[in-house]
Amino acid sequence: MTINESQDEIIEEFAELEDWMDRYQLLIDMGEDQPPLSDNEKTDDNLIDGCQSRVWIVCQRHADHTLSFRAESDALIVKGIVALVIRVLSGHTPQEILDAKLYFIDRIGLTEHLSPTRSNGLLAMIRQIRHYAMAYSALA
């Protein structure tokens, strides 16, 4: 599935829910579906700067040069937000990640329903994933 196909799928899932309380619950459910990181993965190196909550993102490079991401947060909604981001970007090459325009965030109304600190945290998560992609693209 392409990055845009994943984004479109998320937009459809959120479009089915008109009430933002239901959308928040969907985010929480998505976060709870993520497998937890091990304690040895919850290091300062994997901790995202710029998030009010504690968020860790782990990147793995595969033989086909795609990257996959796993993440965890100590806050339920933030865990769901990072789950959305990694759902869209995992399984793609560094260049695909760097070229991606993440339009789903605005289209599902997430930007307007996040506090300023959570919005900053979301940007920090995306920035870190792009840093991973940039670092691994240099190895290609």
| 27: nearest Cα among 113, 96, 103 | 113
| 120: nearest Cα among 89, 90, 78, 83 | 78
**What's the farthest any 2 CA atoms get from each other in the chain?**
45
Q: Active site includes 59?
A: no
Amino acid at 115: S
In contact, 6 and 97? CB cutoff 8 Å: no
Q: Which of 27, 51, 67, 110 is catalytic?
A: 51
Amino acid at 22: D
d(CA 12, CA 120): 25
Catalytic residues: 51
